[in-house]
């Protein structure tokens, strides 16, 4: 299985100490150079910086098709553009991306995608975590991850963790 990740899933899962879920779910995760640079910028330290430099299952890949990256950069930031371009090049099974615009572009390019919420749902379905709700709380409160209330509620409904009125 070929999985390519943008910055957000790695950064946010590392922030709540659950980056290991990506390894357990997918084995190896590929990131483009721009995502590596975003995560390891010494002037802007973030969660996940040490992990992308030391975990052998997170591997950085160069993009060959710079023309595609440039075209995508008109709509997306460089990390998203490179993640999508790498997913296209590698014929990835899935790209991990949270930003709405990036997901729209990935969909236009017929890429399968999921975000951090989808990762948590899959992790629960495979028995890697017991509950999603505490991790959503940690994402919001510790990582500063924004989740719209209707999405928050629908994720909890999906994993049978919400009391319906």
Of the pLDDT bands very low, low, confident and very high (cuts 50, 70, 90), residue 44 is confident
Beta bridge partners of 5: 96
pLDDT tens, 85-108? 999 999 999 999 999 999 999 999
Inform me whether the pLDDT recorded for 165 exceeds 80.
no
- Contact (Cβ atoms closer than 8 angstroms) between residue 119 and residue 22: yes
The model scores a pTM over 0.85:
yes
Averaged pLDDT for residues 13-37? 96
Q: Across all residues in the chain, what is the average pLDDT? A: 94
3-class DSSP state of 4: strand
Superfamily classification of domain 1-165: 5'-nuclease (3.40.50.1010)
Question: How far lies 12's CA from each of 72, 88, 106, 107, 162, in Å?
Answer: 24, 24, 20, 22, 23
Name the least confident of 109-113, 144-148, 161-165.
161-165
Inform me whether the pLDDT recorded for 164 exceeds 60.
no
């Amino acid at each position: 299985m070929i999985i390519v990740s943008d910055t957000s899933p790695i950064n946010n899962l590392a922030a709540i100490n659950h980056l290991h879920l990506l390894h357990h779910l997918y084995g190896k995760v590929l990131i483009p150079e721009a995502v590596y640079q975003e995560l390891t910028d010494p002037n802007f330290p973030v969660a996940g910086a040490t992990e992308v430099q030391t975990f052998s299952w997170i591997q950085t890949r160069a993009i060959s098709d710079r023309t595609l990256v440039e075209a995508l950069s008109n709509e997306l930031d460089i990390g998203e553009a490179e993640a999508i371009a790498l997913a296209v090049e590698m014929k990835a099974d899935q790209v991990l991306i949270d930003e709405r615009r990036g997901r729209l572009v990935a969909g236009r390019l017929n890429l399968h995608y999921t975000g951090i919420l989808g990762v948590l749902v899959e992790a629960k379905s495979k028995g890697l975590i017991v509950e999603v709700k505490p991790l959503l709380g940690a994402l919001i409160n510790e990582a500063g991850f924004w989740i719209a209330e209707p999405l928050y509620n629908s994720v909890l409904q999906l994993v049978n963790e919400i009391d319906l009125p």
